[in-house]
């Protein structure tokens, strides 16, 4: 794309590839070898995967043999639901569709955990569901929501789940790299992460599963990934995944300063906006808001024309604005939920980007005010 420089503020969708990850991908692509082959070239490819597995495991505080590489977060979430021991499923009302859709298609009994107005799961209701569930149950609750950034009390959830001898799956795709994510400390039995949310390449993810869980593979026909995921591994994407993690491991996590500055600016321009989940702990990079009367599609087009990439609160695979099940679960009326805009910051975001977003927002609001009344 040529012309005026653009401002990218849609990091929850995907974040730019880090240079270290790009170099690792290129280097791996230049190598020849199937990691399942016993010759030197095969052993070299296997070594890259083995090193990557140790890097990912160390970052998440898990043992390497518990890490299964997948094609991304969606596949990892689908695989997590294949826990062989689980007799029933319990998922929160705000889960990503890569949890919701396979759970709904599953033949096992399914129950939904409601959330409060801030988007936090109802622990009392979860306990009731666990008491009544066909045992053992598999509970799936994301660590941080992709639309609102709201963070769940996963450790409290894990303690409750394990009292009832159930299993806990945590989708940490949006959280990893933005807040601490430690497998054992969270109390998860299964945990999902994705490379392209961390600055790695698209096409790689991982599922961590502890010794309590046996998984029925989604893809069969080979013994790769400890028999949990057949198919020749995507060595280049896995190497890039590990390189991105190696670059951020040990570095201070981003603060909420830029996000807070953004929200102050948004409200100064349009005091009547509503920031969803504002009363709860949130990811430091995520702001999901709506202005009554301003359609999300109009806002997205306005930002885009001003050179700023943002997203709606919920986007379907066709790129159209869709009804947000997350905001609906929080009790937000469709009239307001349909107007939700999500701005998500990342490792490339600067003060200049925030000012560009606020300038675009100011123009949008002025045009909105000047519209003739319907």
pLDDT tens sequence for the chain (374 residues): 456 789 999 999 999 999 999 999 999 999 999 999 999 999 999 999 999 999 999 999 999 999 999 999 999 999 999 999 999 999 999 999 999 999 999 999 999 999 999 999 999 999 999 999 999 999 999 999 999 999 999 999 999 999 999 999 999 999 999 999 999 999 999 999 999 999 999 999 999 999 999 999 999 999 999 999 999 999 999 999 999 999 999 888 889 999 999 999 999 999 999 999 998 999 999 999 999 999 999 999 999 999 999 999 655 544 556 679 999 999 999 999 999 999 999 999 999 999 999 999 999 999 998 876 55
Active site residues: 316
Distance CA 174, CA 194 (A): 8
Q: Classify domain 7-16+254-369 by CATH number.
A: 3.90.1150.10
Closest CA to 312 of 273, 343, 285: 343
Q: Are strands 110-113 and 88-92 parallel, antiparallel or unpaired?
A: parallel
Question: Tokens standing for 348?
Answer: 């490339």
What is residue 358's predicted lDDT score, i.e. its pLDDT? 98
CATH topology identical between 7-16+254-369 and 19-248: no
Other CB atoms within 10 Å distance of the CB of residue 290: 25
Kindly report the pTM of this predicted structure: 0.95
Q: Any idea what DSSP says for residue 125?
A: H
From the CA atom positions of the chain, what is the Rg in Å?
21
Task: Give me the residue spans of the domains in the chain.
Answer: 7-16+254-369, 19-248
Largest distance between two CA atoms of the chain:
73
What is residue 253's predicted lDDT score, i.e. its pLDDT? 86
Closest CA to 16 of 169, 195, 168, 140: 195
Question: Tokens standing for 101?
Answer: 């859709």
What is residue 3's predicted lDDT score, i.e. its pLDDT? 61
DSSP state string for 301-344: HHHHHTTEE-EES-B-TTSSB---HHHHHTT--HHHHTT-EEEE
Residue 188 contacts residue 211 (beta carbons within 8 Å): no
98 to 38, 79, 105, 150: CA distances (angstroms): 36, 10, 11, 18
What is residue 314's predicted lDDT score, i.e. its pLDDT? 56
Residue 174 contacts residue 151 (beta carbons within 8 Å): no
Backbone angles phi, psi at 103, to 5 degrees: -65, -40
Residue 6 contacts residue 353 (beta carbons within 8 Å): no
Q: Classify domain 19-248 by CATH number.
A: 3.40.640.10
Q: In a 10 Å sphere around its CB, with 0-12 CB exposed, 13-18 middle and 19+ buried, how is residue 239 labelled? A: buried
Distance CA 206, CA 269 (A): 41
Q: Which positions ≥6 away from 1 have C-beta within 8 Å?
A: none
């Amino acid at each position: 794309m040529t012309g005026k420089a653009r401002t990218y503020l849609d990091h929850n969708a995907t974040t730019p590839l880090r240079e270290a990850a790009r170099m690792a991908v290129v280097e791996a692509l230049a190598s020849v070898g199937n990691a399942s082959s016993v010759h030197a070239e095969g052993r070299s490819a296997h070594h890259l995967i083995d090193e990557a597995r140790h890097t990912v495991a160390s970052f998440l505080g898990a043992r390497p043999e518990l890490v299964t590489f997948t094609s991304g977060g969606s596949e990892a979430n689908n695989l997590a639901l294949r826990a062989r021991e689980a007799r029933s499923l319990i998922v929160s009302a705000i889960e990503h569709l890569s949890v919701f859709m396979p759970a709904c298609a599953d033949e096992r009994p399914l129950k939904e955990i409601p959330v409060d107005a801030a988007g936090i799961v109802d622990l009392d209701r979860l306990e009731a569901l666990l008491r009544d569930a066909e045992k053992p149950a598999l509970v799936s609750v994301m660590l941080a929501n992709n639309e609102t950034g709201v963070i769940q009390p996963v450790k409290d959830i894990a303690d409750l789940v394990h009292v009832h001898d159930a299993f806990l799956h945590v989708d940490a795709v949006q959280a990893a790299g933005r807040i601490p994510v430690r497998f054992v400390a969270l109390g998860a039995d299964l945990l999902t992460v994705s490379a392209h949310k961390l600055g790695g390449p698209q096409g790689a993810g991982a599922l961590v599963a502890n010794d309590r869980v046996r998984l029925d593979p989604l893809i069969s026909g080979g013994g790769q990934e400890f028999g949990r995921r057949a198919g020749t591994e995507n060595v280049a994407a896995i190497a890039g995944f590990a390189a991105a993690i190696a670059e951020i491991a040990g570095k201070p996590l981003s603060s909420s300063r830029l996000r807070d500055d953004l929200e102050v600016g948004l409200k100064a321009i349009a005091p009547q906006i509503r920031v969803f989940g504002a009363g709860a702990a949130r990811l430091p990079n995520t702001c999901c808001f709506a202005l009554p009367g301003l359609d999300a599609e109009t806002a997205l087009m306005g930002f885009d024309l001003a050179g700023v990439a943002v997203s709606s609160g919920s986007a379907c695979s066709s790129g159209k604005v869709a009804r947000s099940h997350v905001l609906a679960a929080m009790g937000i009326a469709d009239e307001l939920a349909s107007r939700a805009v999500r701005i998500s910051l990342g490792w490339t975001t600067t003060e200049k980007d925030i000012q560009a977003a606020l300038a675009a927002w100011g123009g949008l609001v002025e045009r909105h005010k000047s519209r003739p009344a319907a």
